[in-house]
């Protein structure tokens, strides 16, 4: 029978192997902790000693602008307005005798041009010729009666002298037939007046143009019988036309407005771009200021005269015509402004400020005093100096003291400068030097 195995001697072996396992596990944990500590330390060292970019404000680029030097000058003010063209002369011809129309001039059509004294309409004058002959006969009869009465008066005077009688003044007039002589003389004068009236009516059968004109309307034709109230032809004068120009009341002080016919008014340029085209104009002059304001807008009304509105004279051939009733624009030359700076309206900002590029190349937003505002120019009397550089380029967000640079005008490309360019280059060089030193120490 085999001897049983005694387990007692093997009991101390288990604690020995367990200790070895614990020691091995502890060493692993210690190694892992050491690796973590070393990694964290290396990371912290790297974070603390790595190169860092220096924080600085971004460099501001100079704005490319165009500038224009400004100069003082003596400038003529200009007042603009709008107005309608109206005739300076217009008449509707009416007959002064009645009768039948037997002839009308070929020029009597709308738009036809007629000269002063030109015969336009003829009324049948046969009745008036007969009447003239009758009046001539009446005059001859009255002349004969007057001569007969003058002879009778001579005979009565001889008889009165032969009798030698003294009579009263009243009887003396009767004896000498003075009332009969006066009646004969009156009859002759009446007959002569009737003859003049008949001849005048005969002349009135031919109706002529009273002035140089263009036909506006034709109201009758050949064969029509007209009375004293009939209208024949409407005429518009061609020697002159008027334009009633509306201007602000505050602008009147700048204009020369005549008070009588001997004075010369301000010169006016008339434009009608929609009909004449751009750049074409006619010239007129201010002749009067109307005595009332325009009802709606409280504007003053100036009367402007334009010679030869239909361009009929040889010296005006080819010039645009002023059509009656058309609406035109006007530029009126005003008085002179001395020693002012003319500035385009588009270069004035916020009504009374301009942009100036100072000697340091920065933007200056400067308020100015405006003496007069014209349609295209603004005239500055104070706030600017000779040869200062006016910024004529629009800037989206202008800020005072912002850097500016004059743009090239010959088409060459230009690299804009920056205000912080020098500091930026210096910082970059210093940073590159530090990185090179760290690289040498690691090696």
Tokens of residue 282, six digits: 């006619």
Domain 93-123+205-238 has CATH 3.90.76.10: no
pLDDT tens series, the chain, 443 aa: 444 455 444 455 556 677 777 777 777 777 778 888 787 777 777 777 766 666 666 556 788 889 999 999 999 999 999 999 999 999 999 999 999 999 999 999 999 999 999 999 999 999 999 999 999 999 999 999 888 888 887 777 776 667 666 666 666 667 667 788 888 889 999 999 999 999 999 999 999 999 999 999 999 999 999 999 999 999 999 999 999 999 999 889 999 999 887 788 999 999 999 999 988 999 999 999 988 887 777 789 999 999 999 999 999 999 999 999 999 999 999 989 999 999 998 999 988 899 999 988 899 999 999 999 888 889 999 999 999 999 999 988 888 888 988 887 654 444 343 333 334 444 444 545 554 555 554 54
Q: What is the pTM of this model?
A: 0.66
Q: Are strands 99-104 and 225-226 parallel, antiparallel or unpaired?
A: antiparallel
- CB distance 284 to 270 below 8 Å: yes
Closest Cα to residue 321, out of 312, 334, 330?
Answer: 312
How far from chain centre, in Å, is Cα 266?
Answer: 16
Distances (CA, A) of 162 to 135, 149, 169: 41, 20, 18
- CB distance 94 to 229 below 8 Å: yes
Q: Are strands 63-65 and 404-406 parallel, antiparallel or unpaired?
A: parallel
Domain 78-88+239-337 has CATH 2.40.30.170: yes
- Ranges of each domain in the chain: 56-71+348-429, 78-88+239-337, 93-123+205-238, 125-203
Domain 56-71+348-429 has CATH 2.40.420.20: yes
55 three-class SS: coil
260 three-class SS: coil
The stretches of 178-266 forming alpha helices (DSSP H) are 178-203
How far from chain centre, in Å, is Cα 214?
Answer: 29
Tokens of residue 422, six digits: 């020098």
CA angle 302-320-324, nearest 5°? 50
Handedness of CA 127, 128, 133, 138 (dihedral sign): positive
């Amino acid at each position: 029978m085999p001897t049983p195995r005694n387990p007692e001697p093997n009991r101390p072996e288990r604690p020995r192997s367990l200790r070895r396992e614990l020691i091995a596990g502890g060493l692993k944990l210690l190694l892992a902790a050491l690796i973590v500590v070393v990694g964290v330390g290396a990371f912290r060292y790297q974070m603390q000693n790595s190169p860092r970019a220096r924080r600085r404000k971004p460099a501001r680029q100079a704005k490319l602008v165009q500038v224009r030097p400004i100069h003082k000058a003596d400038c003529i003010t200009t007042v603009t307005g709008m107005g309608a063209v109206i005739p300076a002369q217009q008449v509707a011809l009416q007959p002064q005798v009645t009768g039948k129309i037997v002839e009308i001039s070929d020029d009597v059509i709308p738009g036809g041009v007629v000269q002063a004294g030109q015969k336009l309409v003829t009324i049948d004058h046969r009745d008036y010729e007969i009447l003239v002959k009758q009046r001539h006969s009446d005059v001859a009869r009255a002349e004969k009666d007057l001569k007969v009465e003058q002879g009778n008066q001579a005979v009565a005077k001889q008889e009165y002298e032969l009798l030698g009688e003294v009579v009263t003044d009243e009887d003396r007039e009767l004896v000498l037939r003075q009332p009969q002589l006066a009646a004969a003389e009156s009859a002759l004068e009446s007959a002569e007046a009737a003859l003049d009236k008949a001849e005048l009516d005969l002349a009135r059968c031919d109706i002529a143009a009273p002035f140089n004109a263009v036909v506006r309307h034709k109201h009758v034709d050949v064969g029509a019988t007209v009375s004293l109230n009939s209208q024949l032809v409407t005429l518009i004068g061609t020697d002159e036309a008027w334009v009633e120009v509306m201007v602000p009341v505050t602008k009147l002080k700048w204009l020369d407005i005549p008070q009588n016919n001997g004075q010369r008014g301000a010169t006016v340029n008339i434009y009608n771009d929609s009909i004449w085209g751009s750049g074409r104009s006619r010239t007129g002059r201010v002749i009067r200021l109307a005595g009332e304001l325009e009802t709606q807008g409280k504007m003053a009304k100036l009367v402007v005269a334009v010679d030869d509105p239909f361009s009929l004279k040889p010296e005006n051939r080819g010039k645009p015509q002023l059509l009656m009733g058309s609406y035109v624009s006007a530029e009126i030359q005003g008085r002179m402004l001395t020693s002012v700076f003319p500035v385009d309206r588009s270069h004035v900002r916020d009504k009374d400020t301009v942009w100036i590029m100072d000697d340091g190349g920065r933007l200056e937003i400067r308020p100015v005093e405006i003496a007069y505002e014209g349609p295209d120019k603004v005239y500055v009397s104070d706030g600017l100096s000779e040869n200062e550089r006016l910024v004529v380029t629009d800037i989206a967000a202008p800020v005072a003291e912002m850097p500016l640079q004059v743009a090239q005008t010959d088409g060459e490309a230009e690299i804009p400068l920056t205000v912080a360019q020098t500091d930026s280059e210096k910082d970059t060089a210093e940073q590159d030097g530090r990185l090179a030193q760290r690289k040498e120490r690691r090696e």
